[in-house]
Each structure stands twice: as C-alpha cells, then as structure tokens.
Amino acid sequence: MECHPLSRLIVISNRVSAPKPDQPAAQGGLAVALTAALRESEGIWFGWSGHAGEDHKLDFETHAGVTSGTIDLTAQEIDEYYNGYANSTLWPLFHYRLDLTEFERDYQGGYERVNRVFGDIVAPHIMPDDVVWVHDYHMIPLGWILRQHGMKNRIGFFLHIPWPPTRLLVALPDHKRLVEALFAYDVVGFQSAEWLESFRHYVTHEMGGTLGENGRITVGGRTIRAIACPIGIDSKDFIANANTDHARDVKMRVLESGVGRQMIIGVDRLDYSKGLAERFLGYERFLQKNPDRRALVYLLQIAPPSRTDVESYQAIRNHLDSLSGRINGQYADIDWTPIRYVNRGYPRDTLAGVYRAARIGLVTSLRDGMNLVAKEFVAAQDPRDPGVLILSRFTGAAEQLTGALMINPYSADDIAEAIGTALAMPREERIARWQPMFDNVRDHDVTWWRERFIAALEAA
Ligand code: GDG
C-alpha cells in the first residue's frame, strides 16, 4: 500500500469547538472527530469566537494539542451574518420553511462581507499542501474567496443541513450566485442521497450543469465532486457513556421517578425544524385515543434554548410553553404529569443514561439534515432489552436507520399510532429492529465519516 505523508488539515466553521481547558468532556462527536484529525496533522481550526468586538484580531490558542484561531465579529456583523442571513434566511429556507424565511439585502451583504473577512484573515495561514475543510451554511462563499487569494489547495465543503428542492431554492434572491460559489470547492458533501439529488437537480436545471462518473458535476468548465457522506456519532464513546456508573444512576433515578411508567424521550435544540409542537400534538392524540393506556407512559422532552436573538425562535418557545401547559392542564392527575418539558441542557453521560432508561425515542423533525439524537438513542440502548426508535421520514437519518418506526410528523394520528405500536412491541421484535440500526451506528461513526470525506478530498 502506498504510504503518503499526512497533509495538514485546516477546518473553518462558524463556531470552533476545539477542546477547552475548563470543559474537557463537553465536546460533541463532530468536535471529537475533527480535533483528532487536527491533532494528528498539527492543523488549525478557524472560526468566530462567539463574541462581539470592535476588531478582527485573530486569537490563537492551543489546548490538548489542538490549535484554534478565532476572531470577534462586530454587533452589526453578528446581526446581519449570523442572526440574519445564516439563521433567518438560509436555515428556514433550507428546512423548507419559506413562510419563516426573511429576505433582507442587508443580511446578504453582511453574510458576504463576513465571509470575506474570514477568507482574508485565514488565507495567509494556509500553506500550499494543506487540505482545507469548510463547514456548513454559514460559510458557503468562503471557498470562492480563498480561490480569489490564488489558493490551489484541495478545498472541501460539507453541508450539515438539508439541500432544498429547486422550486424552493429559486425563491432566494441571487440563488445562482450562492450555488456558483460551491463550484470553487473540489468536493461538496451532503448528509443523504436525497439532499444530493436535490443539488444535482438544481445544477442541471438552473445552471446547465452536466453529470459525470463518480459524482462529478461540471458547470462552465469547472468540475467538482458532489457526494453523500452521512455524518455519524462518536459511537464508541457514546456506548461507553451509556455503561458508566453515572449513566446507570441516572437511569435508576429516571425509572424511579416514573413509578413503573414507560418513558418516551425527546432531545432537541429548541428549533422549529425539530417538529416539537407536532410531537406534543401527536402525543396528545395518543392520550386522547387511548384513555386506558394513559397510566403507562410519560414524555420527557429536553429542549435547551438556541438562537434566542432570532424572533422565530422566541415565537416557537412561547408556542411550546403554552402547548405543554395546555396538555398537562387537561390530562395531568395528582400523581402524573404527561409531559415533563425541560428547557436546559445536560452533560453527555447524563443524556446517555436518560436514553437508556427510555422505552421510546421520539424524533419528529419536519426536516433535518441528519439528526444525531436518533443515532445516540440507538447507541445507548441495552442490547438485551432495547427501546424503539420512532423516526421522522424527513430526516437524513431515515436513510440509514431503517429499523425505526417511520412516521410522517405532520400527522398526529401517525405519531399516536406509532407510540401505541412501540409500547406493545414484543422484545424479540425490538431486538430485531434495533440490531441492524446499532450495527450501522457503530460502523458508520464520526471517524468513518471524516475519513471518507478527507479521502474524497485527497483524491481530488
Ligand atoms: C445540525 C443539523 C445534523 C441536545 N441537547 C443536549 C445535547 N444535545 C446534542 C445532542 C446531539 C446534538 O446536540 C444535536 O444534534 P442534531 O443532529 O440532533 O441537530 P442539530 O443541532 O440541528 O445539528 C443536523 C447535525 O448538524 C450534524 O451534522 O445531524 O441535522 O441540523 O448530539 O445530543 N447535548 C448535551 N446536553 C443536552 O441537553 N450534552
């Protein structure tokens, strides 16, 4: 086998989650996979510090062998680029929510300016042999800006969220300009075959692109590779987490507090794309239609707030407060609250214990690039007595986790029926459905994902 020296990896994303001295265990799977590769190749992770400041001074920090370089953004930049174009225009549009999408010229201008700031600041730190990996919808034009700096490096882009159908995307002013920017990359990665298909449709129908072998797409003399490369979780770590004493304690605590009831678990950032209102309504439908089974269940919904400066996020939060209040008011008994709705986050090993204590994992996203919660739920189960995953067919994860009970989250009846089926499911069927999903989550983990993407990029 040919052995080639490891190229240095440069990662650029909106936020940097490199290890921090004060929170050694707070990392998610993506951070773990990327920091491992950054450490091995002595690379750098660039992004926004998360803070407002008056200048763009690059601040380097090295911890646990990983170097990160961050800059502050001005209050106006945060408003236009982050809260504006990224989270009020692209996020809703790419999640099929044209009704929530805001079209403001200032947002687009701010987005392009901030991307230019990042490109100008990062470019001098990139060496000719570095492999550059840009992440997500905040940074689509960055590759194009780096090319303007004369960079000939291999540059890849991975989109963590869905790619919308052509008919929706054309509602975005200057949509072609945004997609053209993707042709500055060598490899563009999507979470699922469906999102890749939508991208190919756009490029062939709106840009006169031609499709070649191996995912190659050519537009105006420039050829890129567009691939489906589904992200995984840090499975080994998550399985280990689910087997710690702490996770066992958490599981016992949860089981005791449920006094013999089966728990349905939901874990989501508080975001309208996750279908939380639809989940509550589907669960309510179950309670309504099955008075005799009310005493058997409760729903624990963990939903830490996110993007609290964006108006549509304040609206969904208010809506969920009133919906959970109404359902609890209507159905609660002196010894039973149907929905435990918790607006805070928990450490990963606590989450693992909570997943393991649940009989049902309920994922009702209206659209979701992948959905890692579904994979974490599968990884955390007890192999001898696994719970049942109920999964929205509109997630990227639905292409891989085919043993789940698939639902249409817009249908309260669908959700209610699946809850009933899951509660009654015999152990043999639960194991038979869970085992292939577990194999998939274990084998296609976050390291597999990273290696697959980087291999495609290195071959470019
Ligand atoms: C985007 C895409 C894609 C949640 N609450 C707590 C907590 N979490 C963790 C979960 C999970 C992660 O956050 C959420 O990941 P998801 O994949 O479910 O969703 P997004 O945040 O929307 O992520 C998505 C993902 O990018 C990766 O490409 O799958 O489609 O939208 O890991 O466990 N973690 C802790 N405490 C909490 O309370 N520790």
- Residue 325 belongs to a domain with what CATH number? 3.40.50.2000
Establish whether residue 372 lines the binding site of ligand 1, counting it when its CB lies within 6 angstroms of any ligand atom. yes
pLDDT for residue 29: 65
Tens-place pLDDT, residues 165-216: 999 999 999 999 999 999 999 999 999 999 999 999 999 999 999 999 999 9
Determine the 3-state secondary structure of 72 from DSSP: strand
Whether the CB-CB separation of 362 and 375 falls below 8 Å is answered with: no
Query: Which whole number is the average pLDDT over 324-353?
Result: 94
Residue 143 in contact with residue 182, Cβ under 8 Å?
Answer: yes
Q: Are residues 280 and 136 part of one domain? A: no
Give nearest CA residue, ligand 1 atom 28: 160
pLDDT digits (tens, 9 = 90+) for 135-155: 999 999 999 999 999 999 999
Say how far apart CA 48 and CA 111 lie, in whole Å: 13
Q: What are phi and psi of 44, to 5 degrees?
A: -135, 145
Show Cβ contacts of residue 57 under 8 Å, excluding neighbours closer than 6 positions.
Answer: 71, 72
Q: Indicate whether 152 and 129 sit together in one domain.
A: yes
Is 407 within a domain? yes
| Tokens describing residue 196 | 């890749």
Do 40 and 107 share a domain, yes or no? yes
Q: Tell the residue nearest (CA) to atom 7 of ligand 1.
A: 345
pLDDT band at 3 (very low <50, low <70, confident <90, very high): very low
Q: Check: CB of residue 244 under 8 Å from CB of residue 348.
A: no
Please indicate, yes or no, whether residues 215 and 287 belong to a single structural domain of this protein: no
126 and 60 together in one domain? yes
Strand-pairing partners, residue 339, are 299
Q: Is the CB of residue 303 below 6 angstroms from any atom belonging to ligand 1?
A: no
Q: List, in order, residues 6 or more apart from 233 with CB less than 8 Å away.
A: 29, 372, 375, 376, 379, 441, 445, 446
CA distance 35 to 65: 9
Judgement on whether residues 372 and 271 belong to the same structural domain of the protein: yes
The one-letter amino acid code at 89 reads: T
Q: Within a domain: residue 357?
A: yes
Q: 249 and 220 in one domain?
A: no
Domain co-membership, 189 together with 284 = no
Percent of the residues in the chain that have a pLDDT greater than 70, as a whole number: 97
- Best probe residue, ligand 1, of 372, 375, 448 (max atoms within 8 Å of C-beta): 372
- Whether 150 and 79 map to the same domain: the answer is yes
290 Cα–ligand 1 center, Å: 32
Confidence at 258, pLDDT banded by 50, 70, 90:
confident
Position 418 in a domain: yes
Using DSSP's 3-state secondary structure scheme, residue 431 falls into: helix
Our answer on whether the CB atom of 15 is closer than 6 Å to any ligand 1 atom is no
Atom number of ligand 1 nearest to Cα 274: 22
pLDDT in tens, 431-451: 999 999 999 999 999 999 999
Compute how many other C-beta atoms are within 10 angstroms of the C-beta atom of residue 15: 15
pLDDT tens digits, 275-327: 999 999 999 999 999 999 998 899 999 999 999 999 999 999 999 999 999 99
pLDDT at 1 exceeding the cut of 60: no
214, part of any domain: yes
The CA 190 to ligand 1 mean position distance, Å, reads: 17
For 61-73, what is each residue's pLDDT tens digit?
998 889 999 999 9
Which residue's alpha carbon is at the smallest distance from atom 4 of ligand 1?
268
Q: Quick check: CB of 348 below 6 Å from ligand 1?
A: yes
Q: How confident is the model at residue 2 (pLDDT cuts 50, 70, 90)?
A: very low
| Rounded distance from Cα 306 to ligand 1 centre (Å) | 11
Q: Domains in the chain: how many in total? A: 2
Q: Return the residue matching tokens 């609290």.
A: 308
Overall size of the chain counted in residues: 460
Catalytic center residues: 160, 368
Residue 369 has pLDDT above 80, yes or no: yes
Q: Give the three-class secondary structure for 218.
A: strand
Please state the pTM of the whole predicted model: 0.96
Q: Which residue spans within 20-152 are E strands per DSSP?
A: 44-52, 59-63, 66-73, 131-135
Assess whether the C-beta atom of 212 lies below 6 angstroms from ligand 1.
no
> Does residue 16's CB lie within 6 angstroms of at least one atom of ligand 1?
no
Query: Best of 267, 350, 448 to mutate for ligand 1, by most ligand atoms within 8 A of CB?
Result: 267
pLDDT digits (tens, 9 = 90+) for 96-125: 999 999 999 999 999 999 999 999 999 999
Is residue 376 lining ligand 1, measured as CB closer than 6 Å?
yes
Q: How far is the CA of 269 from the centre of ligand 1 (A)?
A: 7
Measured in angstroms, how far is the CA atom of residue 210 from the centroid of ligand 1? 35
Residue 341's pLDDT is what?
Answer: 97
Q: Is residue 3 part of a domain?
A: no
Check whether 25 has a pLDDT greater than 60: no
3-state secondary structure of 256: helix
Residue 4: inside a domain, yes or no? no
Question: pLDDT tens for residues 261-276?
Answer: 999 999 999 999 999 9
Q: Is the CB of 346 under 6 A from ligand 1?
A: yes
For 64, the token pair is 């646990």
**Domain containing residue 158:** 9-232+446-458
Q: What single-letter DSSP state applies at residue 112?
A: H
Whether 309 and 346 map to the same domain: the answer is yes
Confidence of residue 412 (pLDDT cuts 50, 70, 90): very high
- Residue 55 pLDDT: 92
User: Which ligand 1 atom sits nearest the alpha carbon of residue 369?
Assistant: 30
pLDDT band at 27 (very low <50, low <70, confident <90, very high): low
Q: Is the CB of 349 under 6 A from ligand 1?
A: no
In ligand 1, the atom with minimum distance to the C-alpha of 396 is 30
Same domain, yes or no: 182 and 240:
no
Count of H-run helices and E-run strands, the chain: 17, 16
Residue 96 CA, chain-centre distance (Å), reads 16
Q: Does any domain span residue 1?
A: no
The Cα–Cα gap between 135 and 162 comes to: 13
User: Measured between alpha carbons, how far is 321 from 319 in angstroms, rounded to an integer?
Assistant: 6
Helix runs in 161-227, H state only: 166-169, 175-182, 193-206
Establish if 299 belongs to a structural domain: yes
Asked if 83 and 103 sit in the same domain, the reply is yes
pLDDT given at position 28 = 65
How many Cβ atoms are within 10 Å of 110's Cβ, its own excluded? 24
DSSP 312-356: HHHHHHHHHHHHHHHHHHHH-BTTB-SEEEE-S---HHHHHHHHH
Q: How confident is the model at residue 355 (pLDDT cuts 50, 70, 90)?
A: very high
Query: Is the pLDDT confidence value at 23 over 70?
Result: no
